[in-house]
Amino acid sequence: MRTLLVVSGGDAPGVNAALYHYTRAAALNGDEVFGAIGAFEGLLQEQLKPLSPQELDPVVGQGGSYLPSSREPVLKEASNCERLKGVLERHCIDNLVLFGGDGTLSNLAAILQSLNIACLGIPATIDNDVPGSELTLGFASACSMAQQMIDGLRATARALPGRAFAVEVLGGHTGFLALDIAYAAGADAVLIPEYAYDLGRIAKRLQDAARTYRYGLVIYSEGIGDSQRFTQAMHAHGLHVRSSKLGHAQRGAPPVHQDRKLAADMALLAYHTLQQGARQGTVLVQQGKVRFLRTTVATLPRRLPERSLYERVNGLPAAPRENTR
């Protein structure tokens, strides 16, 4: 069996570990593995190389991706789809393993399915927003990196009390990352794009926290839009706000143990599933277990961040629940 590993879209901590574990399993069984250089954009130029576990061993604990990625939507053109099929045939590729987030696994996997190209998807994104999966590769590491930075803010907050600290995290158009970080950090408020928020109420929460704990802490997702408007609103309420942006350092964080284990579980399940003849599907986390579903994520319902957790962090009264009696 000859497998091609493709990393598309944004990188995520743990991708290198998954590449290693897949390649190692294949080598132990006499199968061959290749990597795409520059995702599908590079593949169209026949940029692929053989991979070995010995080559990947030094990067297992590193963030980023050993295989360069690309966001170019080259497969939207029918002519490029035919070129791709020709490349795979010339290199005798039997199947693909595709690493990526919601866009990659919803759109590109569907295109590959329409071309009758055997492909399994592995959700790799710090945003944790892939439909059907409770967890994605890289999420835990991005959260861990944020907590370390927040611990540093706490130290300076105690040294010069009376201020509020606002931390912007990644997450795209979703708030999974911001909400988990805020809850674990014991933040006084969290702003995410999925749910409405009252800036006046947020300001009061931070003022009360500054009086009680000497500082206030709010976490917000980049997906809320104009972060400057938020900071100005807090200043208008008399708060001294210090803002920090984690930016893409979250994506490049070294993988923590949870992501390394998830990488191994996902890669090994993908390998053995392909070895058994699977043609299409996705490796997902459901009910706390890594599972294989014979479908693309485009067919699965989208998730929302946990509403009760959002209410708890923001000190909101619980939303009324539907009476099912």
In the prediction, which pLDDT does 102 show? 92
In the prediction, which pLDDT does 239 show? 87
CATH fold of 2-138+255-294, please?
Rossmann fold (3.40.50)
Mean pLDDT split into 10-residue runs, the chain, 325 residues: 95 97 98 97 96 98 95 93 96 97 92 94 97 97 96 90 92 96 97 93 94 94 85 86 90 95 98 96 97 93 95 84 41
In the prediction, which pLDDT does 240 show? 85
Q: Are 161 and 210 in contact (CB under 8 A)?
A: yes
* HSE, side-chain direction, 13 A CA sphere, residue 14: 29
Q: Residue 221: left if φ>0, alpha if ψ -120 to 50, beta else—which one?
A: beta
The distance in angstroms from the start CA to the end CA of the chain is 54
In the prediction, which pLDDT does 215 show? 94
Q: Enumerate the domain spans of the chain.
A: 2-138+255-294, 139-251+306-313
In the prediction, which pLDDT does 145 show? 96
In the prediction, which pLDDT does 193 show? 95
Tens-digit pLDDT profile for residues 173-183? 999 999 999 99
Q: Are 92 and 127 in contact (CB under 8 A)?
A: no
| 198 is a catalytic site residue | no
**Per the CATH hierarchy, to which homologous superfamily does domain 139-251+306-313 belong?**
Phosphofructokinase domain (3.40.50.460)
In terms of Cα–Cα distance, which of 220, 270, 211 is closest to 239?
Answer: 211
When computed from its CA atoms, the radius of gyration of the chain, rounded to whole angstroms, is 22
Distances (CA, A) of 291 to 55, 155, 265, 270, 273: 28, 42, 9, 9, 10
How crowded is residue 241: how many other Cβ atoms within 10 Å of its Cβ?
A: 19
In the prediction, which pLDDT does 322 show? 45
Task: Note whether 2-138+255-294 and 139-251+306-313 share their fold.
Answer: yes
Average pLDDT, the chain: 93
Q: Are 209 and 157 in contact (CB under 8 A)?
A: no
Tens-digit pLDDT profile for residues 132-149? 999 999 999 999 999 999
Q: Which pTM value belongs to this model?
A: 0.94
In the prediction, which pLDDT does 325 show? 33
In the prediction, which pLDDT does 161 show? 85
Give the C-alpha separation, 169 to 34, whole Å: 34
Which position among 11, 94, 102, 127 bears the catalytic label? 127
**Nearest-10 Cα torsion for 229, 231, 233, 234:** 170
In the prediction, which pLDDT does 320 show? 54
